[in-house]
Chains A and B, each alone.
Chain A
């Protein structure tokens, strides 16, 4: 009971922080607005039917354009970063995200590939296994959780 009460207080603080992020991201000078401009230049838009996120068909475009957009993100971030974070840290993070998008794109392409007919060929299955292992390792190393995709 005590933990539940304390948990509720902690949750309130998190909501407060989320509200701050929401308000900050809606300001013109924020980095989030800069990301949206970069996404728009690659024809990646927010979908109202997906809670205003870059989702639906746009997630395919996000994966396909990850190389260019992450490079542009890196430049935008460096312009608005705090002095304590180095350029190398930003480049490393952007490369990591870029690689993750690249692996997801490769998995997606391999799963949908019907070059050899409706059923996948042996080399496609073999490549898919390698890609899945690499993506899984990277995902776990990045210490990301995920909810059920939907």
Chain B
């Protein structure tokens, strides 16, 4: 902990910082400074009300405890699942900067390698078949998901039986696209 004349600042490993504010085992998929989940990280805007504060941590813990009473399967609420080890303000946490390049460089390398394997490299017969089928499944799933999102928006705007039917069809199409992945099972050598 760094102590200055004006305020305290907190530094440390990401998982440790998460434990400090009551987010045990949540550092892999929840931000410690805002309430976003991993799938929402790539965004252009950040709203001030999404930043974590002592008050928001308490609200999340209360919500977690309430949900826990009805379902034992609930692991956390917005990442929070216990009392913090220290009574600290999450806004005073300094971003653990080494964790950033470690995550981003790894992601860049993994994306690049995936691209070479699935789209560029010559693969032997069975591996090529699996890769091609998987790729076409992913593409058709992405298209059907986009269509479903559009239809959902349309239904929310109009809310009539016709749009409900369209939404149902789009949902089925996406589910079908997802299930087609099973056919890509080719015996590995």
- Chain A contacts to B: CB under 8 angstroms: 2-3, 6-7, 9-14, 16-17, 19-21, 23-25, 30-32, 35, 53-56, 59-60, 62-63, 73, 77, 80-82, 85, 90, 93, 97, 100-101, 104, 108, 111-112, 136, 139-140, 142, 144-150
| Among candidates A10, A55, A104, A139, residue contacting B179 with C-beta atoms closer than 8 Å | A10
Q: What is the CA–CA distance of A82 and B180 in the complex, to the nearest angstrom? A: 26
Q: B42, A150: Cβ atoms under 8 Å? A: no
Q: What is the CA–CA distance of A11 and B185 in the complex, to the nearest angstrom? A: 12
A82 to chain B: closest residue by CB: B122
Q: Mark B95-128, 1 if CB is under 8 A from A, else 0.
A: 0010111111111110111111101111110110
How many residues of B sit at the interface, in one of the four size bands? 35 or more
Q: Given contacts A59-B105, A59-B106, are A148 and B14 in contact (CB under 8 A)?
A: yes
Q: Given contacts A17-B184, A20-B130, A145-B41, are A150 and B178 in contact (CB under 8 A)?
A: no
* B30, B42, B108: most-surrounded residue (chain A CB, <10 A): B108
Q: A16, B185: Cβ atoms under 8 Å? A: yes
Q: A80, B121: Cβ atoms under 8 Å? A: yes
Q: A146, B101: Cβ atoms under 8 Å? A: no
* Contacting residues of chain B (28-86) with chain A, CB-CB under 8 angstroms: 28-31, 38-39, 41-42, 44
Q: A32, B117: Cβ atoms under 8 Å? A: yes
| Among candidates B29, B123, B181, B186, residue contacting A9 with C-beta atoms closer than 8 Å | B181
Q: A24, B182: Cβ atoms under 8 Å? A: no
Whether B155 is near chain A, meaning CB under 8 Å from some CB there, is no
A142 to chain B: closest residue by CB: B111
Whether B15 is near chain A, meaning CB under 8 Å from some CB there, is yes
| Among candidates A19, A93, A140, A150, residue contacting B102 with C-beta atoms closer than 8 Å | A150
User: Which chain A residues lie closer than 8 Å to B127 at the CB level?
Assistant: 20, 23-24
Main secondary structure of the interface of B (DSSP, over half): helix
Main secondary structure of the interface of A (DSSP, over half): helix
A-B contact pairs, 26 of them (CB 8 A): A6-B179, A9-B178, A10-B180, A13-B183, A16-B130, A16-B186, A20-B131, A23-B188, A24-B123, A31-B120, A59-B101, A63-B105, A73-B112, A80-B120, A80-B121, A81-B120, A81-B121, A97-B108, A101-B108, A108-B100, A136-B44, A145-B38, A146-B38, A149-B14, A150-B102, A150-B103
| Among candidates A9, A11, A20, A85, residue contacting B119 with C-beta atoms closer than 8 Å | A85
Whether B175 is near chain A, meaning CB under 8 Å from some CB there, is yes
Chain A nearest CB, measured from B178 CB (Å) = 4
Given contacts A9-B179, A82-B121, 7 further A-B contacts (CB under 8 A): A2-B175, A9-B182, A13-B182, A14-B181, A31-B117, A147-B41, A150-B27
